Structure 1
Amino acid sequence: MVDVVDKSTRSRMMAGIRGKDTSPEFAVRRFLHARGLRYRLHVKQLPGKPDLVFARYNVALFVHGCFWHRHAGCRYATTPASNTDFWQKKFDDNQRRDRKVVKELQKAGWRVLVIWECEINESRLASLYRRITKAE
């Protein structure tokens, strides 16, 4: 399949994709903050710089994009039709890094939670709140 935009346009579009402060991340932050949870953002001292860190509960939370982190079975985890070797390597590297970061955080005593962008809704966020506070 041929890309529908030229190479420079695609490059500009891909460069505009944010690694932090994304819309799904803001939705999670708003929900949890409104319920009284306080957190630190992108703590550089922790492996993988978790999106949200709840030191009081010893929880590191990642808000994963389904496309970049390959959410299994998700409709957003598509593979581009062009340059498939590049993309497969990129996705494999991302998943490998994710597994390594989780192991390192767990070894350091952190509980690691992940919420996928496609799961962000009221009931899933309420469940996440309970998991963070261990009220579940």
Structure 2
Amino acid sequence: MAEGEQLRETGSGRPYEVFHTDCPARDVVDHVTSRWGVWVLISLRNTDLRFYELRESIRGISEKMLAQTLRALVQDDLVWRKVEPTTPPQVTYGLTEFGRDVGEPLTELFDRITERLSPTKPATGAVSP
């Protein structure tokens, strides 16, 4: 194995070369750590949400980016998607077991960061107590 090369055995006995651009594990990491992937996984950590509930919980995400992010995470088996045959269709998303496993350290990271941040500064012009 070359210096800096990371190999992991797959279930089929073939190694994943995680630093190689063609490695499928790398695609999953890219989806999870994308601008919106982390926020989708964190938003779904405690409850299943419908599309519009997810959009409301993740400030700043467009419908297009949410749809693309969800599509990738569903394809990676991190998120499941359930469509109710209503008019209009109700689509609900939740974390798979794999998604919970991957999302847990992300949630811990998020919690550690938010615990260490200083309290928000008062708005400009606000009077301090």
TM-score, with length taken from structure 1: 0.29
Which has the larger Rg? Answer: 2
Larger relative contact order (CA 8 Å, sep ≥ 6): 1
As a proportion of its length, which structure holds more helix?
Answer: 1
